[in-house]
Amino acid sequence: MAVAQVSPGVFLSDLDSALSVSVLSSRNITLIVNASGLGGVSYPQLDLQLLHVPVQDQPHAPLSHYFESVAERIRQNHTGATLVHCTAGRSRSPALIMAFLMRCEGLSLRRAYEQVLDQRPFIRPNAGFWRQLMDYERTLFGRNSMRMTRTSCGVLPEALQDPEAQQDSEALQDPEALQDSEAQQDSEALQDSEAQQDSEALQDSEARAAYCVNI
The CB density around residue 81, as the number of other CB atoms within 10 Å, is 18
Rounded alpha-carbon distances, angstroms, from residue 215 to 185, 188, 206, 209, 212: 45, 41, 14, 10, 5
Topology annotation, domain 3-160:
Protein-Tyrosine Phosphatase; Chain A (3.90.190)
Query: What is the share, in percent, of the chain residues with pLDDT greater than 70?
Result: 73
Give me the residue spans of the domains in the chain: 3-160, 166-214
Most distant CA atoms of the chain, gap in Å: 116
Q: Which of 63, 68, 54, 58 is nearest to 127 (CA)?
A: 58
Marked catalytic residue, from 86, 104, 153, 212: 86
Whether 86 is a known active-site residue: answer yes
Which pLDDT does position 1 carry in this prediction?
Answer: 60
Average pLDDT value over all residues in the chain: 82
Which pLDDT does position 15 carry in this prediction?
Answer: 97
Tens-digit pLDDT profile for residues 40-99: 899 998 889 999 999 999 999 999 999 999 999 999 999 999 999 999 999 999 999 999
Which pLDDT does position 118 carry in this prediction?
Answer: 97
Output 42 or 215, whichever has higher pLDDT: 42
